[in-house]
Structure 1
Amino acid sequence: MSPLNGQVIGQAHYATRALLERATGPLGLSFGQVIALNALAAGPVERARLVHRITSTLKVDEPAVRTVIDALVDADLARVDGVVPHMRLTDTGHATQARVAEAVAGITARLYGDIAPAEADVAARVLTLITERANDELAGVA
């Protein structure tokens, strides 16, 4: 058994991400666009909040996220409404996000389906703690 460290966690992330990118590639979506579509699936989000959410999730700069969002608008997957700009999915965006959600559900079932719930709970708690610690260090809190 490998020790729990960043390399093991990273390998799991990149392997899972590769499966997701393979599944969403035919839709013409980048990983960042998938993240943005999923964020918008819950409903309209103020554009600035969406940018912050994606920059903090992916650890990328704002111009990169704005490019992702602009690509979603250009592809008619999302639109901007209101005086305080809110992003929302278009009908095409909802249909595309549903296909992404279906792909994610399949990947999740195949990769996590036979893991005992108690083990999955422990793994989730440990990974959440590691993420919080890393985010605190990035923010200069630690």
Structure 2
Amino acid sequence: MTTTTPLLDPRVIALAHYAARGVLERVLARHGVTFQQSVTLRVVAVADGPVERGRLVDSVVGSLKIGATEAHAVVDELIDAKLVAPREPSQVRITEAGRELFERTSAETAPITARIYDGIPTEDLAVAGRVLTLIADRADAEFAALDK
């Protein structure tokens, strides 16, 4: 039986996304962290310093396609868990516990990610990166147009 490689389409993208997300969520669950919390914590963890809460919320809204109210709630969850701390005026910064959690989960997922991507030629990854970026940009434009 011969199988053919499917063309890239919404189903293929979704299957890849949810497969990878499922792996990440298993790692995060061991640490009591949700996917949304992880995405939000990452923004603060990779910043050079404190992050304006509004910019953080905008980033999470843009990444996860959730409402601002929900994104604020995720920030509050991270504050309650002492993974980020509020700073005046309207800023948050990562705490030592937040930095440790981010580094630990990143270290746990790194070898898994390496195994997933192992053997895929760099040229293929570059093409996939360009195509998926173009699709994301177009989908973001369509998403924004739906609000008008």
TM range (shorter): over 0.9
How far apart are residue 103 of structure 1 and its match? 2.5
Q: Which residue number corresponds to residue 54 of structure 2? A: 48
Tell me, yes or no, if the aligned pair for 1:20 and 1:107 is still in contact at 8 Å.
no
How much identity, in percent, do the aligned residues show? 39
Distance 2:69 2:144 in 1: 19
Q: Which residue number corresponds to residue 121 of structure 2? A: 116
Amino acid at match of 2:96: D
TM-score where L is the length of structure 2: 0.90
Distance 2:68 2:42 in 1: 18
Distance 2:102 2:134 in 1: 29
Choose the corresponding residue for 1:105, options 104, 110, 123: 110
Q: How many residues are treated as equivalent by the alignment?
A: 140
Distance 1:118 1:104 in 2: 23
How far apart are residue 87 of structure 1 and its match? 1.2
Choose the corresponding residue for 1:73, options 70, 79, 82: 79
Unaligned runs of 5+ in 2: none
Distance 1:65 1:105 in 2: 26
Distance 2:92 2:17 in 1: 28
| Equivalences for residues 1-142 of structure 1 within 5 A | 1-43=5-47, 44-83=50-89, 85-140=90-145
Amino acid at match of 2:84: A
TM-score where L is the length of structure 1: 0.94
How far apart are residue 104 of structure 1 and its match? 3.0
Distance 1:111 1:19 in 2: 10
| Alignment deviations for residues 69-102 of structure 1 (CA, whole Å, 9 cap, x no partner) | 111000110011012x111110000000001211
Distance 1:108 1:49 in 2: 28
> RMSD of the alignment, in Å?
1.2
Indicate the SS of the match to 1:27.
coil
| Structure number, greater radius of gyration | 2
